[in-house]
């Protein structure tokens, strides 16, 4: 495989100045979308489809053809640092299908020796053999969609598993050799009170996960809950759940590094961190999104950064020729680059170095500071010492901060 040589591109120092030096392109990840579920959850607005019949072999081959097409771009011919298999419910796929898929990725690309390979799963679809097979295929990080450890709240969320299945899934994963497990957990559930939210956290921490995604239930348009909303706790109570949960997780040894992500030391999700730091990623599968930076050899020309999106419905995706894949491609404008970088990086608790903006976009760091001046005047971010960080107030008002960002001119 031929790798892209470092090219003469704008390089940023910590103050965000752009100079002409040699700089390699951003880190590259791979996202693989498996869009099927046993049952669609009423709060879910992801691109997923309930079914009992899955075309394991056909879809796996289509994914690999999709990957070959992605890798034909010169900018994509560099080592893949992380792989994330998301859905849907990827754990509906048997071990042999995941092995075929990951073996195909390895044979077509250069997968880093220490690549983080995550597979999302539902506790109600796992068994010891399946987990052994996933581990043998190369999956080294398991993300379990637990959502709650209360039987009552799981029924309200219409999950296909109960608390005991969630606990058993963690035990089986440990027995299979998984040493990096994430649990997804929600708060602000229908009829939930502060004590119940704390009890959920206690139950989750008793399972000793390396990573916890702790996030508020939201009612998204187009979902069952969005159309027929359940009775949720008072907004002030939900906010208190979030604050209390964050403090409890911090004192329990889980560092909050993103608005809804907590990790024990050494277990930050590298794939998601690459998103938030505006890295590149290939997206394969029905409805998968991607982002790729192309770096011209002439340093007088700025980088071009493209976003891609594949056909959403699995049937359309399966019958679309890889040679004519109907990919939607969008070149990011200068305004897009500033807004999209900030939308991602401001989710990080430590904020970001101004130089990272210039290094990832090839544009002057002064653009991002100008965009956030109004937010700084409102006390939502701090700008100084070569960094931009959300204040505690800004973090609590993140949605408002991001809305200001979108509406502000460079």
Residue 129 predicted with pLDDT over 90: yes
362-367-370 Cα angle (round to 5) = 165
pLDDT beyond 70 at 408? no
pLDDT-based confidence at residue 397 (cuts at 50, 70, 90): confident
Instruction: Mark whether 111 and 209 lie in a shared domain.
Output: yes
Q: Specify the CATH number for the domain of residue 408.
A: 1.10.10.920
CA nearest neighbour of 317 among 343, 348, 288: 288
Identify the pLDDT of residue 380: 87
Residue 85 binned pLDDT confidence (cut-offs 50, 70, 90): very high
Asked if residue 213 is part of any domain, the answer here is: yes
User: How many H-runs (helices) and E-runs (strands) does the chain carry?
Assistant: 16, 19
Q: Do 387 and 358 share a domain, yes or no? A: yes
Q: Is the pLDDT of residue 322 over 90?
A: no
Q: Does 336 or 327 have the greater pLDDT score?
A: 336
Q: How far is CA 374 from the centre of its chain?
A: 28
Q: What are the angstrom distances between the C-alpha of 284 and each of 313, 318, 340?
A: 13, 12, 21
* Domain harbouring 103, CATH code: 3.20.20.70
One domain, residues 13 and 30:
no
113 within a domain of the structure (yes/no): yes
Indicate whether 22 pLDDT > 70: no
Q: Residue 286: helix, strand or coil by DSSP? A: coil
Distances (CA, A) of 265 to 179, 209, 252, 271, 293: 13, 12, 12, 16, 31
358 with 238, same domain: the answer is no
Question: What is the structure's pLDDT at 291?
Answer: 98
Q: Compute the distance between CA of residue 171 and CA of residue 215 in angstroms, rounded to an integer.
A: 24
Q: Is residue 314 part of a domain?
A: no
Q: Which residue has the higher pLDDT, 393 or 262?
A: 262
Average pLDDT over residues 98-125: 97
Two structure tokens written together for 41: 């959850």
| HSE-CB for 139 with a 13 A CA cutoff | 32
Mean pLDDT over each residue of the chain, to the nearest integer: 90
Count the Cβ atoms, other than its own, within 10 Å of residue 299: 18
Report which of residues 182 and 298 the model is more confident about.
182
The residue out of 273, 291, 308 marking a domain boundary is 273
For the cut 50, the answer to whether the pLDDT of residue 177 exceeds it is yes
Mean pLDDT of 367-387: 90
Total domains in the fold of the chain: 2
Q: What is the mean pLDDT of residues 35-40?
A: 96
More confident residue, 20 or 399: 399
7 and 47 housed in the same domain: no
pLDDT digits (tens, 9 = 90+) for 224-240: 999 999 999 999 999 99
40 and 101 co-located in one domain: yes
Least confident of 123-132, 277-286, 365-374: 365-374
User: In this predicted structure, what is the pLDDT of residue 8?
Assistant: 44
The pLDDT of 159-185, averaged and rounded, is 97
Residue 310 in any domain: the answer is: no
For CA atoms 299, 301, 302, 305, give the dihedral sign.
negative
Q: Does residue 1 sit in the same domain as residue 107?
A: no
Q: What percent of the chain has pLDDT over 90?
A: 80
Same domain, 6 and 116: no
Q: Which domain holds residue 5?
A: 1-20+334-410
State CA 209 to chain mean position distance. 18
* 365 and 384 part of one domain: yes
Q: What is the mean pLDDT of residues 84-106?
A: 97
Query: Is pTM beyond 0.85 here?
Result: yes
Whats the size of the chain, residue-wise? 410
- Count of CB atoms situated within 10 Å of the CB of 68: 14
3 state SS for 109-177: CCEEEEEEEEEEECHHHCCHHHHHHHHHHCCCEEEEEEECCCHHHHHHCCCCCCHHHHHHHHHHHHHCC
318 within a domain of the structure (yes/no): no
324 band by pLDDT with thresholds 50, 70 and 90: low
Q: Which of 243, 246, 247, 227 is nearest to 235 (CA)?
A: 243
């Amino acid at each position: 495989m031929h790798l892209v040589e470092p090219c003469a591109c704008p390089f940023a120092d910590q103050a965000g100045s752009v100079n002409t030096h040699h700089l390699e392109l951003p880190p590259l990840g791979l996202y693989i979308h498996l869009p099927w579920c046993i049952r669609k959850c009423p709060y879910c607005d992801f691109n997923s489809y309930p079914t009992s019949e899955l075309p394991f072999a056909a879809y796996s081959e289509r994914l690999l053809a999709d990957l070959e097409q992605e890798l034909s771009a010169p900018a994509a011919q560099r080592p893949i640092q992380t792989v994330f298999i998301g859905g849907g419910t990827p754990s509906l796929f048997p071990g042999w299908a995941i092995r075929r898929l990951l073996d195909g990725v390895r044979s077509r690309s250069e997968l880093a020796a220490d690549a983080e390979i995550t597979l999302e799963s539902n506790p109600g679809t796992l068994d010891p053999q399946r987990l052994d097979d996933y581990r043998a295929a190369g999956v080294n990080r398991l993300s379990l969609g637990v959502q709650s450890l209360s039987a009552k709240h799981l029924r309200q969320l219409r999950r296909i598993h109960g608390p005991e299945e969630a606990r058993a899934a963690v035990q089986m994963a440990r027995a299979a050799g998984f040493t990096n497990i994430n649990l997804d957990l929600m708060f602000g559930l229908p009829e939930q009170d502060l004590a119940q939210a704390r009890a959920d956290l206690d139950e989750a921490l008793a399972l000793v996960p390396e990573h916890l995604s702790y996030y508020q239930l939201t009612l998204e348009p187009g979902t069952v809950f969005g159309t027929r909303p359940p009775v949720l706790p008072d907004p002030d109570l939900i906010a208190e759940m979030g604050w209390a949960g964050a403090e409890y997780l911090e004192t329990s040894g889980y560092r909050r590094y993103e608005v809804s992500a907590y990790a024990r030391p050494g277990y930050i999700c590298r794939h998601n961190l690459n998103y938030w730091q505006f890295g590149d990623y290939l997206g394969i599968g029905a409805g998968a999104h991607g982002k790729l930076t192309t770096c011209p050899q002439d340093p007088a020309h700025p980088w071009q950064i493209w976003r891609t999106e594949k056909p959403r419905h699995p049937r359309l995706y399966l019958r679309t020729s890889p040679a004519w894949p109907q990919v939607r491609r969008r070149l990011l404008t200068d305004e897009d680059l500033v807004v999209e970088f900030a939308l991602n990086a401001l989710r990080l608790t430590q904020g970001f170095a101004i130089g990272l903006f210039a290094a990832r976009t090839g544009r002057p760091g002064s653009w991002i500071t100008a965009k956030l001046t109004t937010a700084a005047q409102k006390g939502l971010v701090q700008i100084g010492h070569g960094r931009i960080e959300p204040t505690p107030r800004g973090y609590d008002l993140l949605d408002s901060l991001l809305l200001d960002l979108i509406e502000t001119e460079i």
